[in-house]
């Protein structure tokens, strides 16, 4: 059984993507670039363009998925705040940035109102700083 999720271990790495796929594509870019430099030809230009296109497609697929995830987190956290906050703090929900909401998603329901008020009052904008301030961690195992 794995350890409970915390700030120290919450990052998600997909070994086949991070340690195999991306390095292979980078290696192919280096190799096809060197091949084009040694033997300039239309075929080698096309090979480099193809590898670059596949690398960019892979990069953008990951980036777009993370962007959608951030939008879902923003919606989920606003709905959770509507349920948990009292009137005065509830009125400030629109003041949260997406970065702040992403950081706050790991705060337990009991801790969220106090931490959210602190984030707004102190103007804490960095998601890493907010995550490090969480004392009672609420795990998220469904991240992309």
Q: Is 123 a member of any domain? A: yes
SS3 107: strand
Domain-embedded: residue 124: yes
Q: List helix spans (H) across the chain.
A: 15, 22-38, 42-84, 87-90, 98-104, 112-122, 127-133
- pLDDT of residue 2 exceeding 70: no
The answer to whether position 142 is within a domain reads no
Q: DSSP secondary-structure letter at 139?
A: -
Domain that holds residue 40: 7-133
Digit-coded pLDDT (tens) for 86-131: 999 999 999 999 999 999 999 999 999 999 999 999 999 999 999 9
Q: Does residue 13 lie within any of the structural domains?
A: yes
Asked whether residue 138 is domain-assigned, the answer is no
**Spatial separation of the C-alpha atoms in residues 133 and 93, rounded to whole Å:** 19
Number of domains in the chain: 1
Q: What is the pLDDT of residues 46-64, one digit of tens each?
A: 999 999 999 999 999 999 9
Return the pLDDT at 80: 98
Asked if residue 143 is part of any domain, the answer here is no
Average pLDDT, the chain: 93
Tell me whether residue 57 is in a domain. yes
């Amino acid at each position: 059984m794995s350890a409970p999720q915390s700030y120290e271990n919450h990052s998600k790495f997909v070994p086949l993507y991070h340690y195999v796929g991306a390095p292979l594509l980078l290696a192919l870019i280096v190799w096809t670039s060197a091949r084009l430099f040694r033997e300039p030809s239309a075929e080698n230009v096309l090979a480099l363009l193809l590898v670059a296109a596949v690398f960019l497609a892979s990069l953008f697929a990951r980036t777009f998925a993370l962007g959608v995830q951030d939008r879902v987190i923003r919606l989920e956290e606003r709905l959770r705040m509507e349920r948990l906050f009292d009137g005065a703090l509830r009125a400030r929900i629109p003041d949260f940035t997406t970065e702040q909401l992403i950081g706050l998603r790991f705060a337990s329901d009991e801790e969220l109102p106090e931490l959210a008020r602190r984030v707004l009052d102190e103007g804490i904008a960095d998601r890493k700083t907010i995550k490090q301030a969480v004392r009672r961690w609420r795990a998220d195992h469904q991240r992309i």
